[in-house]
Amino acid sequence: MQRSYYSNNLSNFIQEDTNKILGELARHHNHALEDLQKNAWIKQIELLKQVFYNYADGHIFFEFSIPRMGKRVDNIIIIKDSIFIVEFKVGSSTYDNIAIEQVIDYSQDLKNFHEGSHVQKLFPILISTEAESIKNTIEPLQDKLYKPLLANKNSILNVIEECLNIVKEHEVCPLTWQSSIYKPTPTIIEAAQALYKGHNVEEISRSDSGAINLSITTDKINQIINSSKKTHKKSICFITGVPGAGKTLAGLNIANERMNIDKNEHAVFLSGNGPLVDVLREALTRDEVNNAKEQGKRLTKKEAAIKTHAFIQNIHHFRDDSLISDKAPIEKVVVFDEAQRAWNKEQTSSFMKRKKGQDDFASSEPKFLIDVMNRHDDWCTIICLIGGGQEINTGEAGLEEWIDSLQAYFKDWNIYLSSSIIEDKNYLKDDTLKEWLTYNANIDTNLHLSVSVRSFRSEKLSDFIQSILDIDIIKSKNLYNDFLKNDYPIILTRDFEKAKKWLKEKSIGSERSGVIASSGAYRLRPFGINVKNQVDAPVWFLNNRDDIRSSYFNEEVATEFDIQGLELDWTCVCWDGDFYLYNNQWIYRKFKGTKWQNINKDIIRNYLLNAYRVLLTRARQGMIIFIPNGSIDDKTRLPEYYDETFNYLKEIGIQEV
């Protein structure tokens, strides 16, 4: 992949004809070249030539790729031991906060994901050409990443030379730096936006030896779809993976690729996770409007939403449309996200009777959804994304219902799955179904994503959380000391105000932080943590720091239902007495009326266990766990409901703040 549109050492850049440089930039520009962009480049080139007129050493890059964000930084300039990340606002007379945040994000992206930038001095600079001069203070923001510097057309050189006067370190080789490994791990929102813009999964996902290459899974699914088309067969594929392994990213990539390969397939990404659908749709819609604006075009939000809503749909709306007609749907390829959360027969029948007036509906959601696709006379392919141990709500059927339906009603379908479904009890507990699959399914290891890439700081987070939930203190200690202690901050506190302060200190640039808690955490209300107040997911996940409804404000609390399938950079996980350790055993409870009640049903206990698993695996960079002290004056918040859990986590080695 071409890292930059133009690259040269400074002495050659100064001598080179402006039109030749402009031609090189235009040649690599994939979109229609607007006059606005062309003129901005010309002014940028001419200004930088003046600034570096006397510089013999150094290197300059134009439009350097930041794949995780699906964007390009205007310039990267390397001089001696310093790397300058430059964002130009040609003609601007103000230093806008959005632009400052953008150049911080670019710099952080390089620091975190670009191997050549891990230990180098990085200086973000915003150049608003017509703005007033500002006195900058050069000070670190994080390790060797410095706070953003502001310059106008007259002060650029002064700002750069001040940075170069800082304590000297070893010089950076520009060509070695350029070719060093880039290992991005985008958020699911960033990934959806980048894929929708036409980037492929290789550009925006990690492909190093420490992570699963998502493109391998995509290629395998494409082979299955193409084979189904060629042989006129119906097929169903089960992609499994640990929390944060990129199942949703793989699903979005498949749907996006199939749309580009053949629009007549009408590939669609379906999810029963309402907040995820709402957030991704809103993110894509906003991005479409902003992209049009940047290109000097006018696109209303309503117009943009029509297209994005067709790409990502709520699975329940798809189901309801199929109730109206018995014709085959237009879609030939459907991706069902979090398919393990589809409803069982009892839940579906109850819903249909209460909400749809269908008294005789006798089908589980998996059976009905397969049956809808089975209406096609020719071929079709279903891709089910399955998370082990992710069922968090009453009536969620898990993988068993899908396999049971295939065995009983759809034996002519070709089934593809990974060996994990046979071997891992988190996916399938029924031994009879496992045995049936052994003889009737195509087993392929490429359909399992085994390494978490949600947290680029520690791929062992999901294993660590599993060991905590298993009360395996030796394994927990080993994982924490070996993999997490230095790379992934986990902190304990009994003071909620300290927790919120910690979040604010950790989150820089556009990094998102927020408070999350179990939907059953009713007795955190004395601390202002009210889980009964539902968040507006797109607002909470997407709006900026100025919006009191956003996650940044730490006022509105998201539950496992809001955040499953999504993620934040930094989280505060609030732990209540609905799930706590007592005599080295987990106690499962729900709050009803004025008191706690024990949960005795295994399936409901499992939902609660999974809820905490979800909450504890949502942070990409680190988390603080708030466990209150309890109160002897409140029988619903006794110290015994909190103390042993807190001490257990401390014994593992997690430090208290």
Convert the pLDDT of each residue in 540-574 to its tens digit.
Answer: 999 999 999 999 999 999 999 999 888 999 999 99
pLDDT value, residue 505: 92
pLDDT value, residue 46: 96
For residue 465, name the pLDDT band (cuts at 50, 70, 90): very high
504 has a pLDDT exceeding 80: yes
Co-location of 167 and 230 in the same domain: no
Instruction: For the beta carbon of residue 60, count every other beta carbon within 10 angstroms.
Output: 28
Co-location of 563 and 414 in the same domain: no
Distance CA 249, CA 214 (A): 8
Question: How far lies 271's CA from each of 225, 301, 315, 335, 337, in Å?
Answer: 20, 22, 5, 8, 5
Beta strands (DSSP E) in 282-413 are 312-314, 333-337, 380-387
pLDDT value, residue 510: 86
pLDDT value, residue 369: 93
Which amino acid belongs to residue 140? P
pLDDT value, residue 354: 82
385 has a pLDDT exceeding 80: yes
pLDDT value, residue 92: 94
The total domain count for the chain is: 3
206 has a pLDDT exceeding 90: no
Co-location of 27 and 105 in the same domain: yes
Please report whether residue 303 resides in a domain.
Answer: no
Please report whether residue 298 resides in a domain.
Answer: no
Co-location of 107 and 146 in the same domain: yes
Q: Which of 174, 126, 170 is nearest to 144 (CA)?
A: 170
Average pLDDT over residues 153-180: 92
Distance CA 19, CA 6 (A): 13
Instruction: For the beta carbon of residue 151, count every other beta carbon within 10 angstroms.
Output: 23
pLDDT value, residue 23: 93
For residue 204, name the pLDDT band (cuts at 50, 70, 90): low
Please report whether residue 292 resides in a domain.
Answer: no
Q: What is the DSSP string of 490-555?
A: EEEES-HHHHHHHHHHH--TT--EEEEE-TT-GGGGGGT--TTS---HHHHHHS-TT-TTSGGGS-
Q: Which of 566, 250, 238 is nearest to 398 (CA)?
A: 238
Co-location of 248 and 373 in the same domain: yes
Range of the domain at 488: 461-656
Distance CA 332, CA 264 (A): 8
Please report whether residue 307 resides in a domain.
Answer: no
Structure tokens at 31: 């979109």
Structure tokens at 187: 């958020």
Please report whether residue 108 resides in a domain.
Answer: yes
Average pLDDT over residues 92-109: 93
Residue 190 burial by Cβ neighbours in a 10 Å radius (0-12, 13-18, 19+): buried
pLDDT value, residue 523: 97
The residue among 179, 203, 230 that closes a domain is 179
Average pLDDT over residues 438-444: 95
414 has a pLDDT exceeding 80: yes
Co-location of 219 and 89 in the same domain: no
The larger pLDDT score, comparing residue 507 to residue 69, is at 507
Q: What are the tens digits of pLDDT across the range 508-523?
A: 888 999 999 999 999 9
Average pLDDT over residues 102-106: 93
pLDDT value, residue 443: 94
207 has a pLDDT exceeding 60: no
pLDDT value, residue 32: 67
Find tokens 């203070």 and name the residue.
Answer: 137
pLDDT value, residue 210: 36
Co-location of 546 and 584 in the same domain: yes
Co-location of 626 and 498 in the same domain: yes
pLDDT value, residue 205: 61
pLDDT value, residue 439: 94
Q: Find out whether 406 and 236 touch, Cβ atoms under 8 Å.
A: yes
Q: Find out whether 212 and 451 touch, Cβ atoms under 8 Å.
A: yes
CATH number, domain with residue 396: 3.40.50
Contacts of 355 (CB under 8 A, 6+ apart): none
Please report whether residue 194 resides in a domain.
Answer: no
pLDDT value, residue 200: 66
User: For 407, how many CA atoms within 13 A lie in the half-sphere containing its CB?
Assistant: 16
Please report whether residue 191 resides in a domain.
Answer: no
The residue among 449, 479, 498 that closes a domain is 449
**Angle 545-203-140 (CA atoms, 0-180°, nearest 5)?**
45
pLDDT value, residue 543: 95
Across the chain, mean pLDDT equals: 90
For residue 211, name the pLDDT band (cuts at 50, 70, 90): very low
Question: How far lies 259's CA from each of 92, 263, 283, 379, 559, in Å?
Answer: 39, 5, 19, 16, 33
Co-location of 268 and 247 in the same domain: yes
Co-location of 102 and 217 in the same domain: no
pLDDT value, residue 113: 84
pLDDT value, residue 346: 87
Distance CA 128, CA 18 (A): 21
The residue among 179, 203, 227 that closes a domain is 179
Distance CA 133, CA 1 (A): 38
Distance CA 87, CA 105 (A): 11
Co-location of 226 and 317 in the same domain: yes
What residues form DSSP beta bridges with 79? 82
100-114, 138-152, 443-457, 489-503: the lowest-pLDDT one: 443-457
pLDDT value, residue 243: 63
For residue 209, name the pLDDT band (cuts at 50, 70, 90): very low
Co-location of 394 and 531 in the same domain: no
